[in-house]
Structure 1
Amino acid sequence: MDTFSLLYPRGYTKQQGNSPTDLSFYHKLGVDRLIRIPVKGTMPWVDEHKQFADLLTTDADVIQYRLDVVEDLINNPKLCEALEQVLPKIETIAQLRADKSRTSDVTSSLYSISEIELYTDCVDLLYNAVEAAAVQSDGLKSLSAIIKEVYNSEEYQQLKSNSRALMEQTRSIRSVTIGVNLDAQLNAVEAGVVAVNSEFFRSGDIVDRILRLDRTDDGFRCLTPLVPYGHNRADQRSTAFNSAINNAIDIIFRSAVRTWRPLIRRYLAQNTDYLVNLAREIRLLLGAVEFAQRMRNLGMPVCKPEVCPREDKEFNVRAIYNPHIAVSLGKENARQMVFNNFSFDEDGMIYILTGANQGGKTAVTYAVGIVQALFQLGFYVPARAAKLSPVDNLLIHFPSTGAAVGKGRLGEECDNLRQILAVISEYSMVLMDEAISSTSAVEAGYIAGEVLQGLALIGARGIFATHLHDLAMRVDELNAHGNLKSKIDTLVAEVDSESAERTFKISRIKPDGLSYARSIAEQYGITLEQILENRRRSIRQLES
């Protein structure tokens, strides 16, 4: 059977460089807290960094392919529900395959029958779902075609019928009848399984039955157990007995399974791998649908972004927001969310973002990174509309903890920035929040200016959120270098000019480093004019 993928177009070959090399943004931006697998009983993400190294992509065609699949799943909830039901079954199939290598030949064959039963359940569920769905994406069209071809084949229908009958036969076993031949001294000379039964034997009052010699039962009452179960299960007699019984059952079923085993194994090898290989992809797609639905249930917009080539370096988003804040607000406070428009363009590929503390600088910086990360997984993004290009790396520099031994906080930050500058290209995005804040404003301004010019020379995109208002005032000076590939511009987290309250709106304007301080001083009556006026008022009151 042809292989296909729900995440990659047919014929796609993953090449080196098609995934970001630095995945630290995954935890730093809290992407791990945003993606949930909405299926009970499924396996947890194992080695998340490796999973995302494999699933993140920088290929625009792959992103478009995934977004089309996600759109289909959102528009066809019954198909999405079928995938939710199928996923635990597929993961059980994978577990059975692993267990088969540790069991006897007959038990392994019985596992294969269970595997076939699970597989047919999956195919039946998916067939009913794709028959009723109106899919447009290439990925789900391929899945639909394969499922319909399998379901309508005579081989599949016959296998389903026969494997179900065989499974019912094996599951009906409840007990075995054992025969033991004795010699004249009542020593056992040989023993064997006489019958395999579909009901349990029943123990009774042994002493009473021996005294009355009650033989009028149905053959499922025992006089005494062969092994004293319930006393010491680790007893050697119990172990030997169990081994003998298991061996006998293996022998009994060997002949029954022998005719089925080649057919089952051949069918499994040829026809079920495609479904098992889809498990990880289904998990990611269900996570994408769950994220979009959760945001919408909170009253927040999400959109299918327009995918642009990497070379366009496009990032144009309308009504962007931070989904972590949406979760913390909840549906009842959704109206408090502040949305911003954000774009990189030829006049500003690197922004110095200034403004009041807790005025929205960090929230917007996070939001930009989260939009880019989700986009490159193939997710809908938290915004009303978006045009995006993939980046080859999303690099994050957030405030240092000062944990590096022997470096100090400033040394650690500078070393981290050096590592970032060593790996970025003109197609990278760098997000920095309150970087180099552990030294004086003069020193921090100098280092930040050097870093920003370095990013501009390389041609990267980025945000430098900072309290260094003087740095923002030097934009013309920083842009004066003749070889810059990216221009530096300024953004400001604004405050209300009258109340001095934070608006959380981000505007593309030149900063006034004193505006917020002046508003706060006026609010609390400590401008020089207010101080003098208050002084004069106090004197007049004393004189009167």
Structure 2
Amino acid sequence: MRRRRKQARSRDVIVPPSLFFPGEAHTPDTELDELEYDEGEYDESDTKKRPSYFRDLQLHIAINRIVNEVIPKSRDWDGRETQQQRGRIARELEHILCACNSDLEVADYRLATLDYLMHDTPAVKKVENIFAQLTAMDLMGTHRLHERMIEQDISYYVEMFSHFMHFVDNHEPFGDDAPLALKKLDEYILNLRGAKTYQHMREITRKFTGIITVDLRILCHPHLTAKNIIAAAINNLKPGDDEQRGEFHDKIDLTWGYEDREGHNVFQKALHRAMWLKYDRDFANAKGQLLGAASLFEELGVYLALTRYFHKLEDNGFPVCKPELFPAETQHTFVQGMKHPFLYSSGGEVVDNDVSYDKERHIMVLTGPNNGGKSVYVKSAALTQLLAQSGFYVPATSAIVSMRDNIYTHFVSPDDITGGEGRFKNELRRLKTIFETATPQSLVILDEPCGGTTAEAGEKHTRDFLEVFGQIGCPVYLATHMTRVAETLEQNPLSGVYNTHMSFSRDNGSLQPLFKLVRGPSPSDYGSFTVIAMGMEKDVLSDRVRRRLGVSS
């Protein structure tokens, strides 16, 4: 039995740049042929391993909508490979959002790339062309080449490398005005063209893509079964034409002829084996180049998806902008015309709001009745912060954003009921984690943090928590329907804390939410007003019950 030769490791593998991290190669600490790739579709259900803001901000919805722009979600099981591609792009985007990047250089590096693509249509076309070839390579299994290469139809590798050649040879540079990430991509592709392994594989691929002349020598068992092929070697392989198809041209059809009793095409098998024995080392050497290119699939997919998604928001009347980023120490953020991106498909007019905080006024208390827009506002503020410091556009007309070292959220959780402990205890447990880890450079979003206890106790504890957050010094958004919290702050102010509320109008005895943020506490008890507007006062309810049951007054 012939022993397989050890696959040679190429000495001139060109390592691709990272399009997300400046100054890094794509795989700084890992051999290209030892990379591990995630398989399977994107699993959005398991949120326990992700930061709390992933669930509270419903980031799985954002990720799915963004990735839909490059690979739509399919319910057809036949599209399994495509959905695996979709899953890898989704996980790449999730990894970025869950990392909560606080490095200003990294964010600016990504922003420059995305901003360039948002304003340069030809550049987007170039990215689309690269992504199309990487997609074709990926569907053929390029991302699994880190596994042991196996002997199979030589056309599989020829076709894969043909896509690779199309990606490399037909690339047009982005130009001198391109951002650093795309300049690195240009340099990477230029270096690929000059690599000896690439040039050699290009010659081999071109030979196989046309009509060829083969001088084939086969040693096999007399019964001529495919499994008894002992050796097969190609003595000569060169480009041919219609007049030069070899001495078997009129005698043997290598594609359809000479099948044995088991239905195996013996000569075709011999030809494939001969080609593999002759060129397996060349394919092994080229594996590193193919893997390197494959590693760009997810990053380019994310950039392309984001570009299309933000353009879609613009087309639906949602302004988007490149945020201006500053170090966390500046403690200053000002966003104008902010909208929650999930609302673009809801229909109707979406009201925009502003975000503003600095060192002097960094804790906002937001009051108002339910369904008035409190939760949407604080979620929008957190999502805007996360997108900005991740290096992405934000849904606003303008944005000045200070970086944060982390984002902490506290929303009503299903675990408050199903986790085997009372809601208030669960709320306190999550708040304790925030108090133990938050720094002056963090961002904290609280939605009804003390809703699991009595109103009186909730108001007291909420004020206590606000005072401690003031000692930490981090920006905080606290949304609550407890108007007494705002009233006590007006009477006894806390340093850095200020009141806001979501405005309403009174039309014909009913409340109409305006979804607009206004400074100051809620002007009235909206809860009582809502009870009256819905006809839920005691006298009205009693009269309805008596009439329904036929009881006289």
State the distance in 2 between where 1:32 and 1:363 align.
Answer: 16
What residue identity is the alignment partner of 1:281?
E
TM-score by length of 2: 0.72
After TM superposition, list the pairs within 5 Å mapping 1:369-448 onto structure 2: 369-401=382-414, 402-448=416-462
Question: Following superposition, which runs of at least 4 residues in structure 1 exceed 6 angstroms of deviation?
Answer: 170-173, 176-180, 189-196, 221-224, 244-247, 522-526
- Residue 121 of structure 2 is matched in structure 1 by 77
After TM superposition, list the pairs within 5 Å mapping 1:468-507 onto structure 2: 468-475=482-489, 479-480=493-494, 487-496=496-505, 500-507=511-518
Q: Structure 1 residue 53: deviation in Å?
A: 6.6
State the distance in 1 between where 2:98 and 2:23 align.
Answer: 17
Any idea what the Cα deviations from partners look like across 1:261-306, whole Å, max 9, x if unmatched? 34x544553x555533322321221232122112012111000000
Equivalenced residue count is: 467
What residue identity is the alignment partner of 2:205?
R
- Residue 260 of structure 2 is matched in structure 1 by 226
- Residue 39 of structure 1 is matched in structure 2 by 70
- Residue 96 of structure 1 is matched in structure 2 by 142
**Structure 2 residue 352 is the aligned partner of structure 1 residue 352:** no
Secondary structure of 1:391's aligned partner: coil
Please say which structure displays the higher CA radius of gyration: 1
Q: Structure 1 residue 32: deviation in Å?
A: 2.3
**Structure 2 residue 131 is the aligned partner of structure 1 residue 117:** no
Q: Is the 2:334–2:401 contact (alpha carbons within 8 Å) kept by the matching residues of 1?
A: yes
CA separation of 1:178/1:12 partners in 2, compared to 1, >3 Å: closer, same or farther?
A: closer
State the distance in 2 between where 1:223 and 1:147 align.
Answer: 43
CA separation of 1:191/1:357 partners in 2, compared to 1, >3 Å: closer, same or farther?
A: closer
State the distance in 2 between where 1:136 and 1:272 align.
Answer: 25
Secondary structure of 2:86's aligned partner: coil
CA separation of 1:377/1:345 partners in 2, compared to 1, >3 Å: closer, same or farther?
A: same
CA separation of 1:350/1:172 partners in 2, compared to 1, >3 Å: closer, same or farther?
A: farther
- Residue 36 of structure 2 is matched in structure 1 by none
What residue identity is the alignment partner of 2:513?
R
What residue identity is the alignment partner of 1:227?
R
State the distance in 1 between where 2:95 and 2:212 align.
Answer: 38
Q: Structure 1 residue 115: deviation in Å?
A: 4.3
Listed as ranges, the gaps of 5+ residues in structure 1 are 15-20, 183-188, 200-216, 230-240, 527-544
Q: Which moved more, 1:61-70 or 1:38-47?
A: 38-47
Q: Structure 1 residue 366: deviation in Å?
A: 1.2
After TM superposition, list the pairs within 5 Å mapping 1:284-323 onto structure 2: 284-323=302-341
Q: Structure 1 residue 57: deviation in Å?
A: 1.2
24, 34, 52: which is aligned to 1:24? 52
What residue identity is the alignment partner of 1:71?
D
CA separation of 1:194/1:4 partners in 2, compared to 1, >3 Å: closer, same or farther?
A: closer
**Structure 2 residue 134 is the aligned partner of structure 1 residue 52:** no
Secondary structure of 1:373's aligned partner: helix
Q: Is the 1:112–1:265 contact (alpha carbons within 8 Å) kept by the matching residues of 2?
A: no
Q: Structure 1 residue 509: deviation in Å?
A: 1.9
Q: Structure 1 residue 438: deviation in Å?
A: 2.6
326, 341, 348: which is aligned to 2:344? 326
Secondary structure of 1:337's aligned partner: coil
Q: Is the 2:124–2:304 contact (alpha carbons within 8 Å) kept by the matching residues of 1?
A: yes
What residue identity is the alignment partner of 1:67?
L
State percent identity of aligned pairs.
20
Listed as ranges, the gaps of 5+ residues in structure 2 are 1-13, 28-48, 72-81, 243-249, 538-553
CA separation of 1:303/1:90 partners in 2, compared to 1, >3 Å: closer, same or farther?
A: same
Any idea what the Cα deviations from partners look like across 1:447-478, whole Å, max 9, x if unmatched? 21122222111111111111100101122566
Q: Structure 1 residue 479: deviation in Å?
A: 4.4
TM-score by length of 1: 0.73
State the distance in 2 between where 1:389 and 1:342 align.
Answer: 12
- When the two chains are superposed, the root-mean-square deviation of aligned CA atoms in Å is 4.3
